[in-house]
Structure 1
């Protein structure tokens, strides 16, 4: 918590940061459109078979229209000459410009369809570039200019926090979170060196195979095997969320009847509510609507935090089994289309991202291989038979005598994939010792 005076200063700076970010994002997209419309860009697209020449041609097109990260830094400096410069320092402005440029790059490379500007109170983090000026950590406090000095609440006996405080701070990120209708601020210190590893989470040795589904994960190492749901302790809150959504919809309809089309009767004779009218609209949100929206957001925040905590435990459990993790390269967007509810609740893609991040910081190698060349769920290592199975078939049963739960068997085979090919000889040698381990997996 911060004082009322400090919070007013913070609100002003977050609002100034939001407007600076939106200005930089709009300018980045304007320059990107000019680049794509230019003749240089069109010529660069036609270059085939010469990667260096193609890259240089695109770079020339970007240079002509000043579409680069550092050119956007210059634009941010110009914007700071207004009232925004009274609230945002140069380092923070450059970081905001970098964020805007990276967002436009996603559209440029086809990783996103469109950009989104930050609405009111939607920018919830600001960070510096160094720990010498701007937002910085000084004498166990967050300092930002001469007006702002925030004393944090620290758990003095937490070894993770002590390890971070004893490391050199490279830069600081200030984060705003809304918890139970209260706004809280956190200082995230980006430190130099290796992260703290608890004694119970020491990295193991050996190869671990994973088989990831929409809601389950199979883990097979040299000393252990497991088949489990993602975040099994996560409680379902679908009924509560749907109830709040209906309450919000009723409130909005009652307070904004002009924004909805008239009710109608469908072809089956059922009474249907009118849909929302197209075009720009002004919404009047009642106190009841804001209360329901806040309750829904708080419920979803708790679910996300609990899921993140459970994913963290599972990732550490995987890392304790080995220092090389092998898994199939999957499209988690396709999972969302096919298994929407399950993926929305369990978030397998989020777990993989968490695994990669912790593995990189701990020096663990994560290998993703193609499913087209391996076909682990269809292949028998002992006789070489490749047979398609429906998703309803959960047991791998072959005429040669191999019998195993399908996901666990795929995770076992994943351990012996090298250069996108299954090394059948290695799997055959390890099968006799691993068979009992897989049969006994919980």
Structure 2
């Protein structure tokens, strides 16, 4: 999209908008949604034509072992994409054509191009294997619009978001060092964000600024190595001088209970309003159905949406707090590259609630920004949950929360996996392996730290710790 590759960070600032300005902004979000959906449909059509072509199938069958073969294959794929118009810039041209209507009154050329790029990226992931399908945006579901630069279209000028006659002044907290630091940096481009908070539409400006984000004094970064074992609901950390066992987002329990109550209430109200849409056994009938929503149901749904928003914001804050705590102990992180999609299939409710995959993604972002790194190694070659430092490998049931081996090693399962992650190394061929000798040498030093971690859990929970801790 022509943007520079320099360091950047995001600062979000609330905007002041009256009812007329909010109405105009919502009309533009709706126009943007229609452009995005149109580009998405066109990209899918071009993708299908390309995938069915002889040119693409020939490129797929080409050998790709040597550098020359890989280069020739990539060139063949590029030719197939260009022939069928499945490229980002071809979709930009399509977005320009559909703007020649009432949509052009609401969406400028730069914003239309960013929408086309989003649609192309979504469809392209289905080609590269990163996704299986794409989703069209329903009414009201498009929540962000952004420009390409801060010179045209959506831009930031003198404390206001300006966009084709729409001028929204910002609510700036001059005592907030994070916001003031962002305003002092050059702005690359601006993103307009829409959120529904307590039933009202709120508008925000996200300034994508050039430079490094503001670093609070309490969130300092220390050089050091920390190994992690990340599960669906807990994470074990093992460092040089400390070990801990954390339950993801423990403070969210109250909100989660309220959400479950509202879910049951919504289901009861929906069944009472639509008895003909259910089979005698209580399951929903197949096919296209008409749903009647009472005012009471709509009020419950609004409360449900607000609680989910609060939960997501609080979860994000708790993840950030834990990550900052880890960065104060070290900036080199080692963990297994587990499948979070498999976690979703097997532990859907817990993963949806605690979001361990989201935690790892944010850890990577923050560690990279702090000039650290996150090293993820494949579970197939390490299998830390099954291994012992003595070399014995035993597959454990999920209910077995402790590692016990005939060699005398006993430890909480997740903490022990975190300890072994400290001794995963890479050979000359690029394969990861467990260095058992270094693990054996360090075990007398680390064992007291793991025992102390268990004692801290007992003191923290006092009565009953989660079953996943095994305590």
Fold match (TM-score > 0.5): yes
Partner of residue 306, structure 1: 314
2:195 matches 1:195: no
Which of 294, 300, 323 is the equivalent residue of 1:292?
300
| Residue of 278, 284, 306 corresponding to 1:275 | 284
Quote the Cα distance in structure 1 between the aligned partners of 2:391 and 2:294: 66
Task: Measure, in 2, the Cα distance between the counterparts of 1:282 and 1:364.
Answer: 53
What is aligned with 1:90?
A: 109
The answer to whether the 8 Å contact 1:222/1:321 transfers is: no
CA contact (8 A) 2:35 2:112 kept: yes
How do 1:331-370 and structure 2 match up within 5 A? 331-370=339-378
1:99 positional shift: 0.3
Q: Which moved more, 1:14-23 or 1:45-54?
A: 45-54
Distance 1:240 1:431 in 2: 44
Deviates more, 1:47-56 or 1:236-245: 236-245
1:309-359 CA-partner distances (Å, limit 9, x unpaired): 111111111111112100000001111111222222211111111111111
Q: Is the 8 A contact 2:403 2:411 kept in 1?
A: yes
Point out where structure 1 has 5 or more consecutive residues left out of the alignment.
Answer: 265-271
Aligned to 2:462: none
Contact 2:274 2:291 (8 Å CA) reproduced: yes
1:178 and 2:186 are equivalent in the alignment: no
Residues 1:246 and 1:404: Cα distance change in structure 2 (over 3 Å): closer
Equivalent in the alignment of 2:27: 12
Map of 2:56 onto structure 1:
41
CA distance in 2, matches of 1:245, 1:219: 35
**TM-score after normalising by structure 2:** 0.87
- Counterpart of 1:28 (choices 19, 43, 50) is 43
Supply the distance in 1 between the matched residues of 2:48 and 2:358 (Cα, whole angstroms).
Answer: 32
Task: Give, in angstroms, the shift of residue 30 of structure 1.
Answer: 0.9
Give per-residue Cα distances to partners, 1:202-228, cap 9 Å, x unaligned.
111121100011111100111221012
Q: 1:283 to 1:401 in 2, by over 3 A?
A: closer
1:401 aligns with 2:427: no
- CA distance in 2 between partners of 1:151 and 1:120 (Å): 27
CA distance in 2, matches of 1:127, 1:274: 42
- Per-residue CA shift, 1:126-175, capped at 9, x if unaligned? 00111111111111211112x21111112211111111111111011110
Give SS of 1:233's match: helix
CA contact (8 A) 1:324 1:364 kept: yes
2:395 and 2:119 map into 1 onto residues whose CA distance is 46
Q: Indicate if the aligned counterparts of 2:402 and 2:412 stay in contact, CA closer than 8 A.
A: yes
Q: Could you give the per-residue CA deviations for residues 353-407 of structure 1, whole angstroms, max 9, x where no partner exists?
A: 11111112222110000112222222222x3322333222222233333332221
- Residues 245-282 of structure 1 deviation map (CA, whole Å, 9 limit, x = unaligned): 34434444454556x25x53xxxxxxx34633413x44
**What's the CA shift for 1:231?**
1.0
CA distance in 1, matches of 2:317, 2:252: 10
Structure 1's 384 and 275: CA in aligned 2 closer, same or farther, altered over 3 A?
A: closer
1:247 and 1:374, CA in 2 relative to 1: closer, same or farther beyond 3 A?
closer
Q: Structure 1 residues 311, 238: CA separation in 2 closer, same or farther (over 3 Å shift)?
A: closer
Q: CA deviation at 1:239?
A: 5.0
| Correspondence 1:62-211 to 2 at 5 A | 62-145=81-164, 147-211=165-229
1:78 deviates by 0.9
Aligned match of 1:268: none
Which residue pairs with 2:235 in the alignment?
A: 217
| Unaligned segments of structure 2, at least 5 residues | 1-15, 427-431, 457-471
**CA separation of 1:413/1:254 partners in 2, compared to 1, >3 Å: closer, same or farther?**
closer
CA deviations 1:179-220 (Å, max 9, x no partner) are 110110111111111111211111111211000111111001
TM-score norm. by structure 1 comes to 0.92
The answer to whether the 8 Å contact 2:331/2:370 transfers is: no
- How far apart, in 2, do the equivalents of 1:154 and 1:416 lie? 48
Contact residue 180 and residue 298 of structure 1 kept, 8 A: yes
CA contact (8 A) 2:191 2:207 kept: yes
Q: Deviations over 1:4-29 (max 9, x none)?
A: 12112101111111111111111111
Q: CA deviation at 1:89?
A: 1.0
